[in-house]
Every structure is written in C-alpha cells, then in structure tokens.
Structure 1
Amino acid sequence: MGDLLLRECRIVPLGDGEAAPAGGEPVDVLVRDGRVAEVGSSLTRPDGVEEVAAGGRWLVPGLWDQHVHLGQWTLTRQRVDTAGAASPDEACALVGALVGASPGRPVIGWGHRPGVWTRDPTVAELDAVSGVTPVVLIAGDAHHAWLNSAALAALGLGARDEVVRETEWFAAYERLTRLTGDDGTAAPAYRASLEDAAARGLVGLVDFEFTGGAAEWVERWGAGCDLLRVRMATYAEGLEDVIAAGLRTGHPLDGDDRLVMGSLKIISDGSLNTRTAWCCEPYSDGDRLPDPSGAANLAPHQLRALLARAHMSGLQVATHAIGDAAVGAALDAYAATGATGSVEHAQLIARDDVARLAALDLRASVQPSHLLDDRDLTELIWPGRGDRSFAFRWMLDAGVRLVLGSDAPVSPLDPWLSIAAAVHRSADERDPWHPEHALTAREALAASVDEQPSVRVGSRGDLALLDRDPLAPVSPAAPDRDPAADLRSMTVALTLVGGDVVHRTL
C-alpha cells in the first residue's frame, strides 16, 4: 500500500446534504499505508512521501464498475464491430466483404442489435456469403450468437437454421478458441483493458466472465494484471470447486486483498433483445415466440437450491434478473434462503418488489447506459411498461442499495457514460426518457464508488482526481453548457489504488 500527499484538491461531497470540506476550497489529503490519514490545510509532508500538486482539481473516492465481463470486453476491443448493421442483409454484406478480403480467416463479430430487425436471421444466408470460413456474430446483449454452419460444426453445436441462444450459447462461448487459437486474452491484453479503466477513474471491478476461474486470475495477476481491485465471480458449474477450495466472498485469492472471491452468479432469465427476459405480461409480438412472456432459466426449486448452497458456504449471490417476473422470483428465493448479495439488472420491476429489494437489504446492481440502447425497443415490445424500466428513483427513494456498472462489453466500460445516463436518461437530441426516474449527479456518483463515503480520514486510499467538478450546475455565465456531455467526457488526472498511482496525467 502506498503513501502520497495531494496538495490543494477539492473534495466532492457525496452524502445527502453533505457540504464540501473547507467550504469547497482546496485542502491537502495525506494517504498513508493505503488509507486517508489526514485532511487539512498546509499539511506537513512526511519524509519519503511523494507530493503531487492537484492544482485545485476535484477529488472523489475511486470509481467501481459492479458488472463487467472482462475477458469479453478485452476481446471485443479486437473484434469486428457489427453494431451498425441495421438488418441481416447489412450484416451479411459486412461478412461477405471480410471473407472476400481474407478467405479462411474466422470472422468473430460483436455488437449488432437484432431486437429491432424486422426479421430473424438464418444460418443459410450467412453460409451463402461465407462458405467454409467460420463466422460467429455475437449479439450486443451477449445472450445469443448467429453462426454459420462451419462455426456450428467447429464449436460442436448441432445443425440448425436459427441463432444459438442463452444457456446453449454461454456453454459454447468458451470453445471459441477452437476458431481463434490465441484467444486474445493473454495478460498483456487484460493489462491494456485495466489501464484504460484506470484512466477513467476506476479502481475496481466485479468480473462476471463466463470462462476461467480463480487459478486463471491468480496466474494473470502475477503476470502484470495487478493494477485494480477485482472481485471474481463463479457460476454454478464452478461452485463446488470454489467451495472445496475454501473460497468465500471477500477472501483473497492469492494473499492479496485487491484480488478476492466475489459472488455466485446466476442467470435466471434472458434478455430484452432476444425476448427471453421473463415478464409478467407477454411481449407485444409474443404470438410468434416460443414463450410469449419469456421464461425462467431455472425452476423455482433449482434457484432456491443454488442460493441456499452458496449462502451456507459463505458466498454472496448475484442473480441476473431482467424481466419483472424474474425479479419477483429472485426476491422470493432470497427471502426463502436468507442469501445475501444482489439482483443484477432489475431492468423491469414491479413497484411492490422495489420495497422488497430494500427490505431484504440486497444491492440493485444496475446498468444505466443500457437504457440508451433499449429505450426504443422497450417501447416497441414492452408497450406501457417504460415507467417501470430502469426505475432508479423508485429504488433510491425506497432505500435500496443502488450500485452502477456497465455490463461491458454490452456497454462500454466507462463509468462516466453510466453516470450521465442515470442523470440525463438520453444521449441524443431527444428529451429524457422517463425523467421521473433520473438521479442527481451526486446520487449517481455516490452509486459508483462501491458504497464508500466521501473522502475523509479513514477512507480507503482508492481515489480519483478529476479535471472538472462532476457536480457543477448550469450557471447563468454558461447557459449553453451541456452537463450530460460534460459528464460523458470527464477526464481524470490521477487514479490511486491503496495509495499507489495506477494512472496519472499530472
């Protein structure tokens, strides 16, 4: 753990009604042994402690991303971007051009949003433009992939003419290395992703990657990826191995308390784009779906059994639940078992279940930037339910422990994009979408710092020094300033983890 003296920084108050120390004037902050030891004016620099002139910049607790698939995010930075494909025809044209340029070289794409396409894609049309070159196009929500016949065969999946969805796709994902060889997630690639995160003020993340496990993270950590704090989750397939290894939530994986065991992750339903999120009412086009209201991935007794097993073994549980029926079933399971942890996403929720979330003291781990992508689709296939979507204001007012994340690579690993989306609920020229659920900038920032208090004596030495005031109001002197754009473009001068510098531009 490091020591550092920051000269003349302004501490950003995060608590409700809390005022900035010294009336918002610059103060000095001394970090010793990884903790904030002193806050005041003209502090004496201890011998051997580095001093950094903050120049009146703004200091906040270090940011966290509470929901990341770090391996997929690292790979996505290297994959073909299909986000601009507005139809299967456009996606096929892109694939055809890539195959024509490099015949035989596998095409791995990411990012298209088939939920707004007017028809379902087929394997046959992908085969027609790719031949024997394997093609895997992963949807932007990560819940399904469109493969050609060559890729289906290479990954051991049966012949079909439709996409591979949900559990079957999650199981097949780790076999992508059969097509790519080096999967692009060696330690240097991970390190680059972590450095980019640190440059945005992130000091920690919760890794929900589907593949690998504790042993892989320990190896990666020792190979140079020991930059930020990481909580590593397991899935049901690895649960017994985790329990047998004696790992419990919060336990260091390799004697370093920056790399610890996280939660059991359960995916209890699907997603909006695939129309597999489990809802209390049918989708607007439910008549053409196998399950008109979506469906649960686990029967109630299976969900309860997993929660109970994890809880009795000292593990918290993070339950993916996007539809309102899935959220309700998850809360039933937590209440029945006494398990602790979080509901991940809670994208559509009943008002009564907000109160249950608070009463059970569960975290609502939400991804505000998803509302930018899902706004139009929600209105199309969940008509009349927008007032219960991304219902952050209900949650915060009810006392729910709200924490923000990105779900990268579904959205970029960028906390400022999430904060801006939570506050402004729009990223284009349109008015905010259901502004009654908007958070203030202070509330959104407080939900992004791992439930840490404002910087004070005793705080963790995980800090981010910002180039602008994140809470600055629009002033008469600058009436045309765009606060949302200011948040999205926030720059960070210094990031500390345990007092150690992990990013600096000063």
Structure 2
Amino acid sequence: MVIRNGGITAIAPGAAGRNQDLDAFDAEGMWIIPGLWDCHTHFTQWSYTLGRLDLIEARSAHEAMDMLRGHVSQLRSEGRLDPNRYVVGMRFRHSLWADDEQPTLAAIDAVAGDQPVALSSADMHCGWVNSAAARKLGVQVGESGLVGELEWFDAYCRLDDAPGAAEELDRLLREAEHDAAGKGVVGIRDYEMAENINTWIGRFANGINGLRVQAGVYPERLHQAIDDGWHTGDELPGSNGLGHVGAMKLISDGSLNTRSAYCSTPYSGIEPETFGTMSYTPEQIESYMFVAAKHGFDIACHAIGDEANTIVLDCAERAGARGSIEHAQMLKPVDIPRFAKLGLAASIQPQHAMDDRDVITRFWGHPAGIPYAFRALHDAGARLLMGSDAPVAPLDPWMAISAAVFGTENSNREPFQPEQCLDFGTALASSTQVGRERLKAGDAADLVLLDRDPSTVGTPEEMRAMPRHVQATMLAGRWTYRK
C-alpha cells in the first residue's frame, strides 16, 4: 500500500518496493481495515465523562447517592470542592430503577447540601439537581429534583460556562481524541448542543486535530449559519481538510428512558396514559427541513418513537430533504422501505438496544412498530450509519459492531431480536466513511492495523475486546496512535 499526501495511491503486490524514496512500515502479519467512524456523538459531553462522575453502574437512587457522596468526599479531600462550581455527574439510568428507588430532591439535597450538583441522565434527556444547583441554573424542580427535556438541554449547556470549565475541557478533549484513536477511530459526527462550527474552528486552531469532524448545526442556529455562507460539506478553515460543516440536527421527540419518545400506542404501565411528546410541531419540522434543503444543508433528525419516525419521514418527503434519521429506534413496518426510497440513511446506535432491551419490555409492552429494526432496514436497502450517541453509550465502534452482530453483550444471555442482527461485513462497513470493508486506491489514508482478523471473532466478549488488538491508527497519512 503506497500512501502519498494523505491518500492511498496504490494497493498491489510489490507496489511499495517500486518506490524506494518512501518511508516504509512493515505490517506483515497484520490486518488493515478502513478507519472507523462514530456517526453520532456529543463529543464535548463524552469528553467530560473521562473526568466526571459516571453513574452508569448505579442500580438505584440509593446507589447513585452513595457514589455521589464518595465523589464529593474525594473532591473535598483533594481541595477541589468549590461552592461556586458545579459538581457534575453523568449517565444515571432511573428508567431501570424500582418505583421506590427513583430520584428525589430530598435525597440529593441530603448528600450535596449547599454544593451545587447537577446529574445528567444516560440519554441526556433529563437532569437530577439539588436545590443549590437549581437556584444557580434558574430552573424549577419539584419533589423529584428532576429537570425535564428542553429545560434540561438549556441548563446543561450552561454548565460548560462555569469557572474552570474551559481548562478542564481542553485537557479532556485531547484525552478523548487519544482514547478514540486507540480504538481505531478516525472520524466523528458531532451533534453537541452548541455553536459547533466556530467551536471546531477554534479547536483545530489549538491543535485538537486527531479526528475528522463533521460539525452539526441545530435549528436555532441554522439561519445564522446560512447567513454566514455555510453549507453541509464546507471545509472548516484551519482544519487541513479534517473538519467540515455537518447536517442540521433536529430533535423531533423525546426518548424511551424518559417515556417521551412519541409513539402511536401508549406506554405500558404508566398512569396517566401517555404516548410521549413531540419537541416541535410537524409544521415546524417541515419548515426547518425545507429551509435546510433549500440552502444546502443535509438533515440529521432525531426520531425514536414510531409515530415520530412517521412524522419526520413525511416531513422529509414533502421538503425534499436528504441526510439521515437519527436513532430510528421503533419503526412501523410500512415506514422501513421509505428510508431507501427517500434517500435517507438510518443512523443507528446498536448498543442502545443492549441497554434498552429490559426498558422496552417494561414500557413498550405493546408496540405498533419494530424496535431496533437493523436487519429489516438493511434488507430494505437503507444505508446504515453506526455510532454511539456518546456519552449515552461509550464512543467505541467495536461495542456497536458487537451489539449489531451478536445482539447481546455476553454469551450467557440470549440475543435480543436475533432476526435483526447484522453480519460482520455490514456492521463494519456501516462503521466506516467509505461504507465498505476494504480500502481501495484513491481512498484517504485513514486506516487501522490489527493483530487479529475481526471477521473471525466468534463471541461478543471477543468483539468488545478488539480495541486491545488495535496496533496503529492512521489519519490522512499520519499516525494518531501506535501501540
């Protein structure tokens, strides 16, 4: 394989030997695959998980508060507790907790006292805050201490403006890039709820350049981006071709774990009866899509419930929009062929199926659609893009590939919907920018060297351990990781 100017110019026996002026790297005995992508991240929030309290293992509100108590105690002993700064925790999953083990304001106040504490749910669709943080953030909380959906999105973004946050974030961003490269990742789609274009221009200028980045734009910032002359695919200045403007990211409905994904049938076991909620009216969604399509922006539309997916597919069809539907977690059978027909990719996060399989049983007891219809979408001709939605799941394509292929996290548990599992080749191709298993001459020199053939892996445990077999990662012809 001959690489010049960041691209692959030849792949042939003896090709490198005919170019004596090139530096040589002997990869004999290794496997080469295209560089891996995570097609749905919130990269700032994922970076923060490398330095903030992670509550993903908490199995009850009591356990979460024990973890918080220990974290606050450690910060105090290290002299890092400041009443003017937030203590932030992430990824609690109260949808899996018993009814008598749900969040309460009294519990978090008892642990945190006057120290502002803000905890974000695993799906990032709600927060659990104490009274001190509620006052500081300007949000109203009841007995649960929970802040819901749109109010939480706004409040959580304000945490990034707290004292000391910028210095902490710079360090964690570099750590997150290194962590990603060590897993073979060369690119991300970043849907952080922020002004992503200018943010990434600044990051590239500061030498944070270990990944290709497609920076998404939210609807509230779309008109400004249009006025500034941006379009999907435009190169970000100073990125040396690594950064580009991404799609317009629009969140149409809520999430399964907060019982707010918009469905055509009611949630099971919930009183009063609820079908979930839409974040925008169908007319607003269509209007935003029309503006995006008219001005050269792809769409990336979050839709989880089956009725939300029907609505966004209808809106995209009327607006002539192109791009992707993000999550597509529950789909009516009649809507599955529409992805290919409308030229819309299905941006899926297979690990969510593993995390949600018990929640589905609890709250989607009588669905009108198919949850996590990976194989059905593929068989219907839809282009699949795989990702993590980090920090909702870890930024780790091997975890996503494992979930998609085996349908279970470990060999001791039966697969979830085995009929929806993908073959390895499809899962790998859906995790690359080139959309295939192998590199070709003319591709960018984004590649991963492995000391094991991943196509022969036979268990989910082995597939999830594949990052240990990454020997090197190359981005645009330069090494970003070497073991």
Which TM-score applies when normalising by structure 1?
Answer: 0.89
Check 1:265–1:459 CA distance in 2 against 1; reply closer, same or farther (3 A cut): same
Q: Is the 8 A contact 1:153 1:159 kept in 2?
A: no
Match for residue 261 of structure 1?
Answer: 245
Task: Find out whether 1:191 has 2:174 as its counterpart.
Answer: yes
Q: Is the 8 A contact 1:264 1:315 kept in 2?
A: yes
Task: Find out whether 1:278 has 2:281 as its counterpart.
Answer: no
Distance in 2 (CA, whole Å) between partners of 1:456 and 1:179 is 47
Stretch of structure 1 that moved more, 112-121 or 89-98: 89-98
Q: Is the 8 A contact 2:34 2:434 kept in 1?
A: no
Match for residue 87 of structure 1?
Answer: 60
Deviations 1:33-58, CA, capped at 9 Å, x for gaps = 22221112122252442211112211
Structure 2 counterpart of 1:42, from 8, 11, 14: 14
Q: Is the 8 A contact 2:218 2:249 kept in 1?
A: yes
Task: Find out whether 1:472 has 2:452 as its counterpart.
Answer: no
Q: Is the 8 A contact 1:34 1:499 kept in 2?
A: yes
Structure 2 counterpart of 1:113, from 59, 83, 93: 93
Give the 5 Å matches for 1:38-437. Answer: 38-43=10-15, 44-100=17-73, 102=76, 106-119=86-99, 120-162=102-144, 163-177=146-160, 179=162, 181-183=164-166, 186-254=169-237, 256-288=240-272, 292-385=274-367, 388-428=370-410, 429-437=412-420
Could you tell me how far 1:485 is from its partner in structure 2?
2.0
Deviations 1:196-226, CA, capped at 9 Å, x for gaps = 1111111111001112332221111111111
Match for residue 475 of structure 2?
Answer: 497
Distance in 2 (CA, whole Å) between partners of 1:197 and 1:178 is 25
Check 1:92–1:188 CA distance in 2 against 1; reply closer, same or farther (3 A cut): closer
Deviations 1:213-259, CA, capped at 9 Å, x for gaps = 32221111111111211000011121122111111000011053210
Could you tell me how far 1:76 is from its partner in structure 2?
1.1
Could you tell me how far 1:309 is from its partner in structure 2?
0.9
Could you tell me how far 1:194 is from its partner in structure 2?
0.9
Match for residue 479 of structure 1?
Answer: none
Distance in 2 (CA, whole Å) between partners of 1:386 and 1:135 is 39
Match for residue 438 of structure 1?
Answer: 421
Deviations 1:358-408, CA, capped at 9 Å, x for gaps = 100101000001111101111111114498111111000000001100111
Distance in 2 (CA, whole Å) between partners of 1:131 and 1:406 is 34
Deviations 1:412-471, CA, capped at 9 Å, x for gaps = 110000000000010131111110000011110011112434212222211111111111
SS of residue matched to 2:187: strand
Q: What is the RMSD of the two structures over their aligned residues, measured on CA atoms?
A: 1.8
Q: Is the 8 A contact 1:134 1:179 kept in 2?
A: no
Aligned length: 467
Distance in 1 (CA, whole Å) between partners of 2:275 and 2:343 is 28
Q: Is the 8 A contact 1:366 1:404 kept in 2?
A: yes
Deviations 1:270-319, CA, capped at 9 Å, x for gaps = 11110001111111023246xx0101111010000110111111010100
Q: Is the 8 A contact 1:33 1:499 kept in 2?
A: yes
Distance in 2 (CA, whole Å) between partners of 1:188 and 1:408 is 18
Q: Is the 8 A contact 1:467 1:492 kept in 2?
A: yes
Could you tell me how far 1:188 is from its partner in structure 2?
3.4
Distance in 2 (CA, whole Å) between partners of 1:470 and 1:425 is 17
SS of residue matched to 2:330: coil
Q: Is the 8 A contact 1:419 1:445 kept in 2?
A: yes
Stretch of structure 1 that moved more, 401-410 or 94-103: 94-103
Q: Is the 8 A contact 2:261 2:304 kept in 1?
A: yes
SS of residue matched to 2:250: strand
Identical positions, percent: 39
Check 1:184–1:362 CA distance in 2 against 1; reply closer, same or farther (3 A cut): farther
Q: Is the 8 A contact 2:386 2:431 kept in 1?
A: yes
Distance in 2 (CA, whole Å) between partners of 1:173 and 1:311 is 30
Distance in 2 (CA, whole Å) between partners of 1:306 and 1:195 is 36
Stretch of structure 1 that moved more, 253-262 or 36-45: 36-45
Q: Is the 8 A contact 1:188 1:224 kept in 2?
A: no
SS of residue matched to 1:224: coil
Distance in 2 (CA, whole Å) between partners of 1:430 and 1:172 is 39
Structure 1 counterpart of 2:464, from 455, 466, 488: 488
Distance in 2 (CA, whole Å) between partners of 1:184 and 1:144 is 26
Q: Is the 8 A contact 2:182 2:470 kept in 1?
A: yes
Could you tell me how far 1:111 is from its partner in structure 2?
1.6
| Residue type of the alignment partner of 1:252 | E
| Residue type of the alignment partner of 1:39 | I
Q: Is the 8 A contact 1:191 1:224 kept in 2?
A: no
Distance in 2 (CA, whole Å) between partners of 1:386 and 1:502 is 46
SS of residue matched to 1:307: helix
Q: Is the 8 A contact 2:117 2:130 kept in 1?
A: yes
Check 1:445–1:207 CA distance in 2 against 1; reply closer, same or farther (3 A cut): same
Check 1:236–1:387 CA distance in 2 against 1; reply closer, same or farther (3 A cut): closer
Distance in 2 (CA, whole Å) between partners of 1:224 and 1:167 is 33
SS of residue matched to 1:265: strand
SS of residue matched to 2:331: coil
